[in-house]
């Protein structure tokens, strides 16, 4: 599984975790019933879950005229993945994390999601 696909699947799993509050390992196993697990996917899901409070603080500090509670679940989940990559995964270039997040926002969010995500992540990156 390539990293783009792993990010997309991590987004879907984390989105479900945010709603259902399951254990990350159980969610990964249930989601990937017919597919082989991926180290990068597992690392994203478990990493975001383990430091979610710290990530949410970073995101909140970089929102302008918004609170995290007002951010839609799709954008919030994408911001969490990208923030985790930017702050905790040094082997991934920041611009790759941001571009991948914007792309996910354009696919799963509304017509303004990509721009919103880009703006928040640009502030986090600095």
Arithmetic mean of pLDDT, 62-90: 94
* Domain encompassing residue 50: 3-125
- What per-residue confidence (pLDDT) applies to 63? 94
**Orientation angle between helical segments 94-108 and 73-88, nearest 10 degrees:** 170
Phi/psi of residue 43, nearest 5 degrees: -60, -40
**Which pair of structure tokens corresponds to residue 83?**
């923030």
Instruction: Specify the number of domains making up the chain.
Output: 1
With 0-12 CB in 10 A as exposed, 13-18 as middle and 19+ as buried, what is 105?
A: buried
CATH number at residue 25: 1.10.940.10
- What per-residue confidence (pLDDT) applies to 13? 85
- Mean pLDDT score of the chain, rounded to an integer? 89
SS3 24: helix
């Amino acid at each position: 599984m390539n990293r783009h696909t792993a990010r997309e699947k991590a987004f879907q799993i984390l989105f479900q975790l945010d709603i259902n509050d399951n254990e990350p390992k159980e969610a990964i196993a249930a989601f990937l019933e017919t597919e082989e697990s991926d180290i990068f996917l597992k690392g994203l899901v478990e990493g975001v879950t383990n430091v979610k409070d710290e990530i949410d603080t970073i995101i909140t500090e970089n929102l302008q005229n918004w609170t995290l509670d007002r951010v839609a679940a799709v954008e919030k989940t994408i911001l969490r993945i990208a923030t985790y990559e930017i702050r905790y995964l040094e082997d991934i270039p920041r611009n790759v994390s941001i571009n991948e997040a914007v792309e996910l926002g354009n696919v799963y969010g509304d017509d303004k999601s990509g721009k919103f995500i880009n703006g928040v992540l640009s502030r986090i990156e600095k």
